[in-house]
Amino acid sequence: MDLKTKVQFIKGVGPKIAEKLDKLGVKTVQDLLFYFPRAYLDYTKITKIGDLESSDIRTRTLGEDQNQNITIKVKIINIANRSTRRRKFTITEAMVADESSSIKVVWFNQPYLAKMLSASRELILNGKISFDRFSGQLQMESPTRTNYPRIVAVYSETVGISSGFISRLISNSKFLIPNINEYLPEEMIRKNNLMGIQQAILTLHQPDNSASIKKARERMAFDELFLFLLQKQLLKNDIQLQQAPAMKIDQNFLQKFVASLPFELTAAQKKVSWKIIQDLAKNKPMNRLLNGDVGSGKTIVAAFAAAVAVKNGFRVALMAPTEILANQHYKTLSKIFKLHGASVGLVTAAETKKLSAISRQLSADILVGTQALLHLKEPIGDLGLVIIDEQHRFGVSQREALINSKFQGPDPKKITANNYQPTANFRPHYLSMTATPIPRTMSLVVFANLDVSVIDEMPKNRKKIITKVISPAARQKAYDFVEAEAKVGHQTFVICPLIEDKETIKSNLFDEDKKTVVKEAERLQREVFPNLRIAMLHGKLKSQ
């Protein structure tokens, strides 16, 4: 057996269990050794029962830290089973004690424990402490147990695969850990005071103490971040090995373009626009992320880049995640470029059904659309610039598909004058936009393969944004405010996390039910604003 051996050939596994392990991402022995615990049960930090009965420990245990497990080392005084009145399940109750005091311990539907854990036996228990309503005393519910002080690894489970079973498989396979080669340079390990990879893996599965767990986790966290950044850097290097059209920058044209705008650009917009223009002038692909708050003017900056591309004889594709946003960009860009003789086309699922309009749209200088851009029968010719709005809403494969698979090389006559030699590695310039606030240090990590520009200034004459948190008790005041605004012709937007009840959401941030667009709109119309017009707007609505 070696690291590449399929787990089904490990003793005690077989094909059926291997299928279940596959759900956990474990296919080979190496996968198994790199399947690290999600948590640990620490049986080494013993608490005396007498300390649990002190007011301080009682408050901490039953208050905010009630999910914290407590470990006690005890001797069983007595243990017995009893059935509930309806005899639907069995409760095993034991009285245990240490030198300081005693406490009741209960297990549910494990009647075999009454025979297994005989009186006078010593053991270590780990579990949560609660109040017994009837006796008014503390008790420990459903604790795990061991015979000696140790730290036990707890693994994520799936149907038919327990944490204990995974632990046994790893224990039987750990003799192969020395076959895992150290892939970090010795100098890097020394400089960062890292644990060796073999020691880190063994420690995570069978730790001696909490300090060693911390060091092992630090090593694996370092590896994860290092490999992530390495992948980003390799991607960036690969892109820079390709060629892109080096566009000529016409200063007179840019000045006229700025003068045609119905507003003055902010200093931040000018700074970012110039950086993008400098990228477009190079024969290496621009790969830039434009970050700015809603209303900061990202679309105008994107229009600047599009104007340069169109002026150089190239076409532009702008992809947005929804038809609503695509239509918004289409209308904005149409107004801007109408003055400059450039055409803007809209490509959405709804538009592609209109056969009479689609050919006209596809011939436009600037194509604005949704994912429908990825499903065109013909590639987009002379594509020199790709713009993705809300880039986090698209997968990497989708973004690359628009850049690569739907590209048709430009006419060489248009670009040889710019010192560009057409090759199979031609790649359009790429600009992505996001309104998600990203701290600078995080952006340097997450978007290490991208150059990041930030619009950190809002346009002038924008109204001040006032943010208030309304308590449930003050909700009626908020409703009164909405009605008052409606009387003077103003609109109100109510944002909900879900569209319909059937959706699922992983977030467990709040205990209260998540509000849905459909139900909240119905409730507001029926109970709160019967005299106001309420409409629903969400991504699942048809475009018309």
Q: List, run by run, the mean pLDDT of 10-residue segments along the chain (544 residues).
A: 92 92 94 95 91 59 58 94 81 93 92 87 90 81 90 92 94 95 95 96 95 96 92 83 88 92 90 94 91 88 94 92 89 91 86 55 84 79 88 62 54 44 67 80 68 85 80 90 94 87 46 73 92 86 63
CA dihedral 143, 144, 148, 154 (to 10 degrees): -140
pLDDT of residue 423: 45
Q: How far apart are CA 387 and CA 166, in angstroms?
A: 47
What domains sit in the chain, N to C, each tagged with a CATH number?
45-149 (2.40.50.140), 251-455 (3.40.50.300), 472-528 (no CATH)
CB 13 within 8 A of CB 7: yes
pLDDT of residue 393: 64
pLDDT of residue 212: 96
* Counts for the chain of helices (H) and strands (E), in that order: 20, 16
- Cβ within 8 Å of residue 295, ≥6 positions away: 458, 459, 462
The pTM for the full model equals 0.64
Q: How far apart are CA 305 and CA 292, in angstroms?
A: 16
pLDDT of residue 32: 96
Q: How far apart are CA 183 and CA 41, in angstroms?
A: 31
Alpha carbon separation from 448 to 47, 232, 284, 287, 289 (Å, rounded)? 47, 6, 17, 11, 10
Look up residue 423 and give its two tokens.
Answer: 């090759």
- DSSP state letter for 426: B
Q: How far apart are CA 496 and CA 454, in angstroms?
A: 28
For residue 218, report the phi and psi dihedrals to the nearest 5 degrees: -60, -40
Grouping H, G, I as helix, E, B as strand and the rest as coil, residue 455 is strand
Is residue 439 packed enough to be buried (19+ CB in 10 Å), middle (13-18) or exposed (0-12)?
A: exposed
Look up residue 479 and give its two tokens.
Answer: 């409703």
Q: How far apart are CA 135 and CA 478, in angstroms?
A: 48
Q: How far apart are CA 543 and CA 286, in angstroms?
A: 33
Q: How far apart are CA 374 and CA 388, in angstroms?
A: 12
Q: Which residues pair with 129 in a beta bridge?
A: 140
pLDDT of residue 353: 58
pLDDT of residue 463: 75
- DSSP state letter for 158: B
Q: How far apart are CA 362 and CA 342, in angstroms?
A: 13
Strands 122-131, 70-83: pairing is: antiparallel
Q: How far apart are CA 42 and CA 51, in angstroms?
A: 18
